[in-house]
Structures are given as structure tokens and as C-alpha cells.
Amino acid sequence: MSFDLQIINGDLAISNTGDLAIVEDTQKLIQDILKMCITQAGALPFYPWYGSAIGKTLIGNVYDDRFLTSTSTSQLTSSLNNLKSLQLEQAKTSQPITPGEHIAAIQNVVVQRSTNDPRYFAVFVSVITKALTKANTSFNVGL
């Protein structure tokens, strides 16, 4: 089983005992999905393939809504497939991962433009874990 430090609103979380909080299992998977999707592709010099280009695609472009959502959905799906590949490589090492923190299938990626402010987009991601449970998360992209 692997774990990660819990991040809430960009800050490390503190547990009830005063220690740094950790996430495991499906909550770790959700945090991994958010990190992969929110990190700008190319932002990590040693891992230029890590992250997604969704911010560059959506922000500041005046393309047709269908084109934007189709392109960004495709980019996010590709990023989630990269995460899935990373998990497969991790499973081959001495650091095992639980079925609840491993993507079995990407169920749905939805990108919707805000009706109130066209500069903002809501993103919804749903995956099926190898424990055969759903892991859902969402985030916003905007100026």
C-alpha cells in the first residue's frame, strides 16, 4: 500500500494528532488524478510528460465550445492514461498499490463551460478502480 501527504486547497493537511495527514486507497487515487490534471504539462523539467495541457487549451482561447470541450476532454483522458501507466510501473516495484488506488478504467471525463462566465470551465472525472469502485472528482479551470 502506498500513501501520500494530504493536500487541501494547495496546503498540507494536519491530522487530529497534529501530524501531517496522509491519504491512502481511493482518496490517494483522487488526489493523484487532481495532481495529474491540474499540473501544467511541461512544468516539471525532469518529467515533461507529467500533467495536462488543459489550462493552455481552455484559457484565453475563443474557439468553438464543442472544439474546446472535445480537445480538453481528449487531453485529460491522455493524462489519465499516463497516470494509469505510472501505476502499472509502480506495481512492478517493491512499492505495491492497493486496488482502490489503481485505475482500472476511465469512465467519464466531462468539461463544461460556465454559463455565467465563459472564462471558467468545470471538469468532472470519474474512474473505476481495480477494487471495482468509482472514484469521482471535479475541479475548475479559469483565469
HEC sequence for the chain: CCEEECEECCEECECCCCCECEEEHHHHHHHHHHHHHHCECCCCCCCCCCCECHHHHHCCCCCCHHHHHHHHHHHHHHHHHHHHHHHHHHHCCCCCCCHHHCEEEEEEEEEEECCCCCCCEEEEEEEEECCCCEEEEEEEECC
Q: Is residue 6 part of a domain?
A: no
Q: Show the domain range for 88.
A: 25-141
Q: What is the pLDDT of residue 57?
A: 76
Q: What is the pLDDT of residue 66?
A: 86
Q: Is residue 118 part of a domain?
A: yes
Q: What is the pLDDT of residue 49?
A: 87
Give this prediction's pTM. Answer: 0.86
Q: Is residue 2 part of a domain?
A: no
Q: What is the pLDDT of residue 128?
A: 97
Q: What is the pLDDT of residue 111?
A: 92
Mean pLDDT, 10 residues at a time, the chain of 143 residues: 75 88 88 92 90 80 81 93 91 84 95 86 95 95 78
Q: Is residue 9 part of a domain?
A: no
Q: What is the pLDDT of residue 62?
A: 73
The CATH number given to whatever domain includes residue 134 is 3.10.450.40
Q: What is the pLDDT of residue 29?
A: 93
Q: Is residue 12 part of a domain?
A: no
Q: What is the pLDDT of residue 119?
A: 81
Domain count, the chain: 1
Q: What is the pLDDT of residue 142?
A: 79
Q: Is residue 76 part of a domain?
A: yes
Q: What is the pLDDT of residue 36?
A: 93
Q: Is residue 5 part of a domain?
A: no
Q: Is residue 77 part of a domain?
A: yes
